[in-house]
Amino acid sequence: MSSDKRVMHEFPPLFNASSRVLILGSIPSPKSREQGFYYMHPQNRFWRMLCAALGEDIPTDINGRKQLCLRRRIALWDVLESCEIDGASDSSIRNAKPNDLSRIFGTADIKAVFTTGKKAHALYCRFFGDCLPEAICLPSTSPANRTISEAEMLEQYRRITEFL
């Protein structure tokens, strides 16, 4: 039995006028929605990969993570405003509605867009491929993705630094 339900993105994008890189996921996981910030599942490797790529210590709290991103000129958001999804399974996403990315592009001089995973990339291309910069697809940091070694993943996440 499917437990698909309509999920709304419940917290704002993180960016300011200095942001140069936009990193987009698909939609926040249940754990991220519960905590009100991005990539908050304890086994998700996003913060470990990003901080290693930037040569930074991993902040221990949400405010520290926000400050790190803003200081390093990184914007965070998700491609979707809402969708039907079974738990945190991107492969189950249906009836997707995109976020209004013009909020970020109208404020910041974004030099590169990265997506965290193939589903986020496919959704970005579907909704924004004709009008916004081409996105670079990074490997998903989800604990479910074990198709790539952490060393290989880190090499790909280091690409972010080229645009900062």
Q: What is the mean pLDDT of residues 102-113?
A: 97
Q: Quick one: which of 140, 117, 148 has its CA closest to 45? A: 140
Instruction: Give the integer Cα–Cα distance in Å for 146 and 42.
Output: 16
Query: Would you place residue 4 in the very low, low, confident or very high pLDDT band (cuts 50, 70, 90)?
Result: low
Instruction: Yes or no: say if 91 and 85 are a contact pair by the CB < 8 Å rule.
Output: no
Q: What is the pLDDT of residues 139-161, one digit of tens each?
A: 999 988 888 999 999 999 999 99
Give the phi and the psi of residue 113 in degrees, each rounded to 5: -115, 130
Q: What integer pLDDT is reported at residue 29 of this predicted model?
A: 93
Tokens of 145: 């993705």
Architecture of the domain made up of 5-163 = 3-Layer(aba) Sandwich (3.40)
| Residue % of the chain over a pLDDT of 90 | 88
SS3 state at 38: coil
pLDDT at 8 over 60: yes
Cross-strand pairs, 75: 22
pLDDT at 17 over 50: yes
| Residue-range domain boundaries for the chain | 5-163
DSSP state for residue 35 in the 8-state scheme: H
Q: What integer pLDDT is reported at residue 161 of this predicted model?
A: 98
Average pLDDT, the chain: 94
Q: How many residues does the chain have?
A: 164
What are the residue numbers of the active site? 44
Instruction: Give the integer Cα–Cα distance in Å for 11 and 32.
Output: 10
DSSP H helices, 72-157, are 102-105, 118-128, 150-157
Is the pTM value of this prediction over 0.75?
Answer: yes
DSSP state for residue 104 in the 8-state scheme: H
